[in-house]
Amino acid sequence: MAEKIKKRKEIPEEFKWDLSAIFTSDEAWEKECETVRRDLEKYSAFKGKLGTDPEALLAFFKLSDDLNVRVSKIYGYASCSSDGDTADGYYQNMRSKAVSVAVAANAATSFATPEITAIPSDVLERFFKEEPELKTYRRPIEYRRKMSEHVLSAECEKILSEAGEMARGPEQIASVFRDADIRFPDVKDKNGEEHELTGETLVPLLQSEDRVLRENAFCEFYKTYRGFRNTVASTLDANFKTLVFFAKTRKYETTLDAALSDTEVPASVYRNLISSVHANLDKMYRYVSLRRKMLGVDELHMYDVYVPLVAESSRKISFEEAKTTVLDALSVLGEDYTDMLKEGFRDRWIDVYQNVGKRGGAYSSGSPYPHPYVLLNHTDDLESMFTLAYEMGHALHSYYSLKNQPVCTNEYVIFVAEVASTCNEILLMRHLLSKTDDKKERMALVNHFLDSFKGTVFRQTMFAEFELFMGEKAEAGEALTADLLDGKYLELNKLYFGPDMISDDGIALEWARIPHFFYNYYVFQYATGFSAAAAIAERILKEGKPAVDDYKRFLSGGFSADPVSLLKIAGVDMSTPAPVDSALSLFGDLVDEMERLASEK
């Protein structure tokens, strides 16, 4: 029997994040919740005054800065605490309370946007002259005014804000189901030894060289999900009905338009990504064909997608080794960057290992106060090392923005969220490739790079197309049934993987395990972010300091400009198809290199 997953209390403290930097105790958190709820009442003093008094407008924004930081800390502490053990009722209740405080804060300020958007332009310019400090808030003010056609009356805005807690329901239900409730049977390898199957162990099991174990893990995992497919479909249906309600209420034509409006990204970027990837699926088909040949199988199945093509790539990489290698790889970004990395390692920003009930996957917390926190489920392998680099890219992006922007513009929008993380991954890959001439090791690294492309550009674009399908069906008034979702997902899987892949029946249910389908058109940004990051990383390696300086200005930009403009600072123009086309061309080049390496005697 494989080693059992530890309980949280069995994980050494040095491998768990230190939340005392936010609150020294749960009791201190509870007290701050009560204090913030009372302080939210201070907003009422500004109602009806924002368009008539520049001093009141400035005071309102200063109060918002203070309370936004405090609410962010409340939510960050509760979120991290509950994600450490999703089965702990106390922390699940804490998370619920935190969401309630955040919703209350939104409701308390719901009058602000209608009042600010109603200020005549000449009056607003006079305000900026009379109160120079107001210029700090010009960007958020202009952003709100740009959204004016989608802003409702103060009363309606309050209702929508108060509905926010209910709107999170489908995602929360699906998360608890995935992380705390669903259980899978143990699975056997070719020798009859049993292995524990969970949402977190699935991919490691699919990376095994033992094809019997891979097939058993795949089949049992989706066989289990098949018993809950209607439940998960219902949560997705409820989620998209919620998105349709909010989109229609705010007078958007589609849920996609509503989602992208917040980030000031044209919907054409989303649709163009799908079109560009469709036009380059031949490169994906070549990769799939190469994988079948290198594995030496007559038929390539979906349970063969994750297994490394070179045995040496499965060697153990401890967390300590991963940290050292990541620091070396990212030294090209300068000492100030690596000093921040060391700070994160030293001060326990990171929750490292899996434990029973811990949230799956990995993330960098959205709350940067007093610094970001990173959740991992580290498994001492190459993939985990890349995940460390990736999530710390997110974290340091947040940290740079926190240190260089005022509160009102220090949180970047999600369209650029994947750039820094993926740039770190690419720099790590380039570093590792530069350190070896060994054919097998190089093949393993190129394979990993190819799999990153496959997973981040092709796969996430497939997800984006599936999500667009769900949105369009929901907008047309159709129910997202399990049969409908199974059929579309299987169709897309066949399209994206091509004729050399056997799209096993179980893969039709993969949609049920993907948490990102609850994230409101998030996934396409993995693909666009990867494309932008590839361009930035190549520029850094070719040009050195000038490119690094531009990149750090981008990292420090936060919300100070729209995301397309911020990326232009780093030398990438996402208003054109060039970055995506360039990334797909690089994928083709990597397939060429792998074919050459595989053919060498």
Q: What is the pLDDT of residues 143-196, one digit of tens each?
A: 989 877 887 888 888 888 888 888 889 998 999 999 889 999 999 999 999 999
User: How many residues appear in the chain?
Assistant: 601
For residues 71-100, average pLDDT: 95
Domain 313-442+523-599, classified CATH 1.10.1370.30, yes or no: yes
Least confident of 341-355, 362-376, 491-505: 362-376
- Other Cβ atoms less than 10 A from the Cβ of 466: the count is 21
Buried/exposed code over 254-279 (b: 16+ C-beta within 10 A; e: otherwise): bbbbbbbbebbbebebbeebbebbee
**Pairing between β-strand 187-188 and β-strand 374-375 as defined by DSSP bridges:** unpaired
Nearest CA to 140 out of 179, 109, 170 is that of 109
Question: What's the pLDDT tens digit per position in 188-228?
Answer: 999 999 999 999 899 999 999 999 999 999 999 999 999 99
> Average per-residue pLDDT in the chain?
93
Give the catalytic positions in this structure: 391
pTM of the model: 0.80
Least confident of 169-178, 318-327, 547-556: 169-178
Judge contact between 391 and 376, C-beta under 8 A.
Answer: yes
Categorize the per-residue pLDDT at 1 as very low, low, confident or very high, splitting at 50, 70 and 90: very low
Looking at 2.30.42.10, 1.20.140.70, 1.20.120.530, 3.40.50.720, the CATH number of the domain 8-167 comes to 1.20.140.70
Cis peptide before 546 (omega within 30 of 0): no
Nearest CA to 137 out of 71, 210, 60 is that of 60
Nearest CA to 52 out of 116, 114, 110 is that of 116
Domain ranges of the chain: 8-167, 313-442+523-599
Given a cut of 50, whether residue 89 has pLDDT beyond it is yes
Burial group, residue 393, by CB count within 10 angstroms (0-12, 13-18, 19+): buried
